[in-house]
Structure 1
Amino acid sequence: MATATTLGELLRSQGISRRAFLKFCSATASMMAIPAGMVPAMAEALEQAKRQSVIWMSFQECTGCTEALLRSHAPSIESLMFDFISLDYHHTLQAASGEAAERAREEAMHANAGDYLLLVDGSIPTIKACSTIAGISNLDMLLETASGASAILAIGTCAAYGGLPKAAPNPTQAMSVEELITDKPIVNIPGCPPLPLAITGVIAHYLTMGALPELDHLGRPLSFFGENIHDRCYRRPFYDRGLFAETFDDEGARKGWCLYKLGCKAPETYNACAHVKWNQGVSFPIQSGHGCIGCSEPNFWDKGGIYDSVPMGQFGTGPKIGVAATVGVAVGAGAAVLARGKKHKSEAELHSDD
């Protein structure tokens, strides 16, 4: 359970040096487009913070989101779990089961009422009999747990937009988190699964700033979803020159030409896959030879076949981060650090617009 010990005291007790701590803060600042000059203020704010209670709930999902988090490397799952957050409930990772597991959730909710982060992966079946945990329907468990949360992170496309379970004909009448919870701040971190850094980056931002990051029109953090994959793809020059692979094993494919004609959805998909990549920056689907399937966009399962090309020259018009927008996000983040003081914003501050 979360304790009153500050993160600074906790890190010092574990022998973590000031230099290592500042490296973590620098990495977080870079990841979230915060000026390097704000790192000392960020470090001071984080040192004074209390260890954050986190409750993670899984509903109609494949466990891919948890698997993605376990492969995060900056910050790692170990540092998040044991140094910066108190992961008080997680179906897959917790040792407890049965009554002990549900008691852990209830105790975390009561001990940290109004101040815990709720992470949800998987869509929620509104036909209650379709899925239950400890005899409680997924819908009822979500509503109960969300009521005391300070903010919610919808992890993966199923939680963010309904995903595969919501695809037609949607037999469980699945819904996304934001369709069911309308009175809490929500960050959508879509993907099948989402990029690990997008999950840990948002958590690190919340711990550091005491507030959620800047979001796009679909509730996604701009730092990771502000540009489409097509614009950052290393195959983009081949697209511009009209050089396309026609099959997965032709000469164009062997030369690394654009996969647009093989159904790549990168022109309409907003995510950081092309520059953050997977497996500690080793690769991403397009680099591995398969086109993007658009998994971080709403209703991607119902938009046609995986190998159907999007209309050429009619790409999506989602948000992009320009220089002015980036500066605006950075200035706002810096102000949040300085104003934060010794604790997170209160629930009233977080919900001042409600």
Structure 2
Amino acid sequence: MDNSSSGDNLLARLEAKGVSRRDFLKVCTIAAGAVGLPAWAGEQMAEKAAGGAKPSVIWLHFQECTGCTESLLRTSHPGVAEVILDLISLDYHETLFAAAGHQIEEAMEQAIAANKGKYVLVVEGAIPRKDGGIYCQVGGKNAIDTLNRVAADAGAIIALGSCASFGGVAAAEPNPTDATGAPMILKGKTVVTLPGCPANPYNLLGVVLQYATFKTLPKLDKLGRPEFAYARTIHEDCPRRPHFDAGRFAQKFGDDGHRAGYCLYKLGCKGPATHANCSLLPFCEVPGAWPVGIGHPCVGCTEQQVAFRVPIHTTIDVERPTAPGTYPAIHPDHSVVGPAAVGLGGLAVGAIVGAGVVASKKLTAESEKHEERE
């Protein structure tokens, strides 16, 4: 197939649905940024996808509510979901397939055979282990056997959502089905985990397109999470953080502090112990579309030791406490600034400026290398 023709067809289909070329590029750029890649990587992802190089995706459902799939589809811009589905070749998905029964099972086998070693396996939902996995069966096969079968020939494996990453709500006490996450079943294999209830669709798209474009996966932490999405806590980038630093807290729902946008820590916010990029990458392209953005404390849905274990409105310890003297105290001392403080301030500004110069040089060098490659 002619790549240019395939690319024109893809763009023509999207434009017919009201999605411009600019929108298409924007989605790819956001996806690249979600996994820490520069803007030019997003451009390459767009070129690759428009050229017909769409990764084959086999999407398995186990113990879950299908919320991760729904979050992908329920975007504010009607065309974004269509863009995402046009960027990948979704060869098996029980929720979105019109077919059923033997037809859909045959489609999965064909996709495995045609893309052996290259397809992306997306796992949504927890895997029950009790009594040999009889509590979740599709097509006469239990979840454990199906997962091992499809994962054996996958090029990349992604556990989407908290249920697939570590068991999620299905593994909450008393965990009657002995549910667990995909990494616990696929021991010895690299599994990219994207916990969240639901996970952000752009984190998924970024990982899939990076694999399809560069044949690489983003840098992962010890739990298999992409560092650019999960290295920082909600607390570090929370828009209510200045109120925390200044000691301004909502005491109860609906009080003056809550209405004024004060910090929700005393209402049980789990942001200080929750690693995710929700505050930086809102859901459905709607600013503020996440729990804290609508006035509810973070519930810690990405953390195995917090989600569905710690009561929602129970306060927790701050994982990365404020360093003394770095942020203003609750009742700051407005005494005269001394020479020592001025000197320290000068050193801090100098360090920031120096870091900016180094970063600028690094970006310039990377840009020049990219231009040479082109």
CA deviations 1:103-137 (Å, max 9, x no partner) are 11111111111111100010000122211111111
Q: Match of 2:221?
A: 216
> Is 2:68 the partner of 1:60?
no
1:101 CA displacement? 1.1
Q: Match of 2:111?
A: 108
CA deviations 1:249-280 (Å, max 9, x no partner) are 11111111111011000011111111211231
Partner amino acid, structure 2, of 1:117: V
Partner amino acid, structure 2, of 1:149: A
Q: Match of 1:10?
A: 6
CA deviations 1:161-200 (Å, max 9, x no partner) are 1111111221101111001112432110100111121122
Partner amino acid, structure 2, of 1:296: T
Distance across 2 between alignment mates of 1:61 and 1:68:
13
1:93 CA displacement? 0.4
Q: Match of 1:351?
A: none
Q: Match of 1:76?
A: 80
Q: Match of 2:311?
A: 305
Distance across 2 between alignment mates of 1:24 and 1:268:
29
Bigger radius of gyration? 2
Distance across 2 between alignment mates of 1:6 and 1:121:
34
Distance across 2 between alignment mates of 1:233 and 1:181:
34
Contact 2:3–2:51, Cα closer than 8 Å, also in 1:
yes
Q: Match of 1:291?
A: 297
TM score, norm. by length of structure 1: 0.81
Alignment of 1:52-201 (within 5 A): 52-72=55-75, 76-81=80-85, 83-127=86-130, 128-201=133-206
Contact 1:72–1:200, Cα closer than 8 Å, also in 2:
no
CA deviations 1:205-229 (Å, max 9, x no partner) are 2222221111122211122212111
Alignment of 1:336-351 (within 5 A): none
Structure 1 residues 146 and 305: CA distance shift in structure 2, 3 A: same
Q: Identify unmatched segments of 5+ residues in structure 2.
A: 323-354
Contact 2:233–2:276, Cα closer than 8 Å, also in 1:
yes
Contact 1:225–1:272, Cα closer than 8 Å, also in 2:
yes
Greater length-normalized contact order (CA 8 Å, ≥ 6 residues apart)? 1
Partner amino acid, structure 2, of 1:300: V
Count of residues in correspondence between the two structures: 329
Q: Percent identity?
A: 39
Distance across 1 between alignment mates of 2:304 and 2:2:
39
Q: Identify unmatched segments of 5+ residues in structure 1.
A: 317-321, 342-354
Q: 1:51 aligns with which of 26, 51, 54?
A: 54
